[in-house]
Copies of this chain bind each other. A is one copy, B any other.
Amino acid sequence: MVADRASADSKKRNPAIVLVEPQLGENIGAAARAMANFGLGDLRLVRPRDGWPSKKARAAASGALGIVDDARMFESTEAAIADLNFVYATTARSRDLPKEVVGPREAVAVLKARAAAGQATGILFGRERWGLTNEEIALADTIVTFPVNPAFASLNMAQAVLLVCYEWLSAGLDGKLPTRVAVPEIDVTPARKAHLLGLIRHLEEALEPTGYFRTADMKPTMVQNLRAVLQRAGFTKDEIDVLHGVVAALERQRERRRGDTADG
């Protein structure tokens, strides 16, 4: 079927997330949800403790049901990674193993390069309580570990999946945000100086009759001060228009009061 082929292609491009003996359905669902958020889709489970399918996994997936329902079951970690060319194992602590250890960002850079070269890749995540065995880690090519506070290292499995998936999507964006989060085109171009000077003049005229510029001697310094404040703000033309409106309103009020006095 066409859909299957497309899905197989996408599974080939993106790394497989392999959960080894996950204990709680909730965590499997949370991992699926993390995957969906960042565009991954190939979920593989090795002997989930509480059986499969899992209602709790489906509930926790929060809409990422397709990933949960398409998850593939394996009897062994070896079988789960049999079709992959390159595999990372995630660990919380350093192990005394003759393997390279990298952070998630570095790992994703490697995975991207290998995927681009047509390789099928995957990442192993261990049990919630005690991670992967040394034998399972030995099946992987390299170890990924997470930069955490040594005084409190307690990432759970779904959080570790989230971080890897997040790095995967981030690496593809080169710092750009994906299109759904359309960045509103805000023009924050500072207004031409003529507009800024117009505002300063307006403010100066409004302040003149208020006694703000105590003495004629002090006025130049005070105007310069105001100018510095408004200049540094880097107001746009639109923002300057808003401020003209504010000053005009405060002035008008004065005019109106003056009018009241004249009429009264």
CA distance A103 to B171 in the complex (A): 12
Report A201 CB to chain B, min CB distance, Å: 14
CA distance A235 to B203 in the complex (A): 18
Contact, CB under 8 Å: A250 / B206: yes
Report A198 CB to chain B, min CB distance, Å: 16
Contact, CB under 8 Å: B163 / A62: no
A9-52 interface bits toward B, Cβ cutoff 8 Å, 1 = contact, 0 = none: 00000000000000000000000011011110000000000000
Stoichiometry, copies per complex: 2
For residue A210, CB closer than 8 A to chain B, the reply is yes
Given contacts A225-B242, A226-B246, contact A37 B182 (CB under 8 A): no
CA distance A161 to B71 in the complex (A): 27
CA distance A178 to B34 in the complex (A): 25
Contact, CB under 8 Å: A105 / B170: yes
The A148-162 residues at the B interface (CB cut-off 8 A) are 148-156, 159, 162
Within 8 Å by CB of A62, from B154, B210, B242, B245, lies: B154
In the complex, how many residues of chain A place their beta carbon closer than 8 angstroms to a beta carbon of chain B? 82
Chain A positions near chain B (C-beta within 8 angstroms) = 33-34, 36-39, 62-64, 93-101, 103, 105-106, 145-156, 159, 162-163, 166, 169-170, 173, 175, 177-184, 186, 188, 203, 206-207, 209-212, 225-226, 229, 232-235, 239, 242-243, 245-247, 249-254, 257-258, 260-261, 264
A-B contact pairs, 8 of them (CB 8 A): A34-B159, A63-B152, A101-B181, A106-B175, A147-B169, A159-B162, A166-B166, A254-B254
| Further contacts, 4 of them, CB under 8 A, given A100-B186, A103-B170 | A37-B148, A37-B153, A94-B182, A150-B178
